[in-house]
Amino acid sequence: MAILVFSEETDGHASASALELTSKAAQLGEVTVFHVGEGSADALAELGAHGATSVHHMDPGDGLPAPAAAAAIADLVGGDAPAAVLFGMGNTDRDVAGRLSARLGRPVLAAAVDLSIDPVRVTSEILGGTQQIITEATAQAPALVIVRPKAFAANDTGGPAPSTTAVAAPDVGRSGSAVVVERHVEEQEGPDLEAANVVVSGGRGLGGPDNWHLVEELAAELKGAVGATRAVVDAGWVPYSLQVGQTGKTVKPTVYIATGISGAMQHMVGMKDSGTIIAINKDADAPIFGIADLGVVGDVQQIVPKLIEALKARS
């Protein structure tokens, strides 16, 4: 069974989701990757190492990539259709999946946490992760599937560099007329949020951006990464790249510390699979306590400084 995986390049690397999906797809069948971006040798080698045998590479230049990528993938799957096209939850992934769905007239099976083929069946968690549904694709192949981050592990099996075919970005006319005029990378200190062993996240309970240093200092003390809820991202305290949850990043650290976070469903789906969860909240009824291994009912502004001091005293 052939499977196509979507990949987007950032900073010379294939997306984390593409490596996870390539690893999974390699267990199910023959993997081809549609890779968007510069097409650096590193990115291509990573895809091969995770099991991709061939890569179709498209450089979108300054255009928003989705319209041309969707058109090119539609051409590619037009003849001998793969069983499925797999996407991650990245913004470009979702843009391409949506456009391809409209082009091919196939639904998008979303938020998958597990997948089998022949027939294509997808497991997803709904209603804030309280219910699990299995959905079967009944339309003609390929099935279009969006998979949640970290649903599958990335396995570097040392595969050889894949055969690479350059794909020219098709002219998609009016749809393709949006251009990227500036790119801004918001520099982050410390370890990568999605890979860190410890994540310290803060919510609205911190009281304001002036207290955010408590989260940063605690994370630094634990050599961990800083995360945030959407409430504080929307309030402009921290950039979106720190957001954990349904519409942000999914993390599975050994330890997750939630400070001043209520525990909305949309936040918890992004961190509930962490090893040990520690929550500090002044409201004993906060939903976050429902999934915490250790819940401390108290004031973050009292507890976090003492915790930082205690950790400093140890080192």
Partner 1 sequence: MKIAVCVKQIPDPATPYELDAESHLVVRPQDQVLDDTDRYGVEIGLQLAEASEGTVTLFSMSPSGSLQGIRQALAMGADKAVLIDDQALRGSAALTTARVLAAAIEREGFDLVIAGTESTDGYTGVVPQQIAEILDVPALSFARRVEAGDGKVTIERQTATGYDVVESPLPAVLAVTAGSVEPRYPTFKGIMQAKQKPIENLTAGDLGFGDDDVGIAGSGQSITAVAPIAGRQAGEIIEDDGEAHLRIVALLEEAKVI
Sequence-separated contacts (24+) of 297-301 with Cβ below 8 Å: 300/202, 300/205, 300/206, 300/211, 300/214, 300/259, 300/260, 301/207, 301/211, 301/214
Distance CA 144, CA 249 (A): 22
Whether cis (ω within 30° of 0) applies to the bond prior to 60 is: no
Nearer to partner 1, 162 or 256 (CB): 256
- Identify residues 279-308 at the interface with ligand FAD (CB under 6 A): 280-283, 286, 299-301
In the bound state with partner 1, the residue whose beta carbon lies nearer, of 119 and 165, is 119
310 binds partner 1 (CB under 8 A): yes
The verdict on 242 binding ligand FAD (CB under 6 A) reads no
Return the exposure string of 73-104: e unless at least 16 CB atoms fall within 10 Å of the residue's CB, then b.
Answer: bbebbeeebbbbbbbbbbebbbbbbbbbbeeb
Q: Is the peptide bond before 107 cis (omega within 30 degrees of 0)?
A: no
As measured in angstroms, the least distance from the Cβ of 223 to ligand FAD is 23
Q: Closest approach of Cβ 304 to ligand FAD, in Å?
A: 9
Name the binder of 306 from partner 1, ligand FAD, none, CB < 5-8 A by kind.
partner 1
Report 223-242 residues binding partner 1 (CB under 8 A): 224, 230, 233-236, 239-241
Q: Could you say which of 9, 20, 125, 217 contacts partner 1 (CB under 8 A)?
A: 125
82 binds ligand FAD (CB under 6 A): no
In the complex, the smallest distance separating the C-beta of residue 240 from partner 1, rounded to whole angstroms, is 5
Contact flag: residue 238 with ligand FAD (CB under 6 A)? no
Name the residue with tokens 């843009």. Answer: 95
Inter-CA distances, 183 with 38, 55, 161, 178, 188, Å:
15, 26, 30, 14, 16
10 near partner 1 (CB under 8 A): yes
Which spans of this chain sit near ligand FAD (rule: CB under 6 A)? 203-205, 229-232, 243-248, 260-262, 264, 266-267, 270, 280-283, 286, 299-301
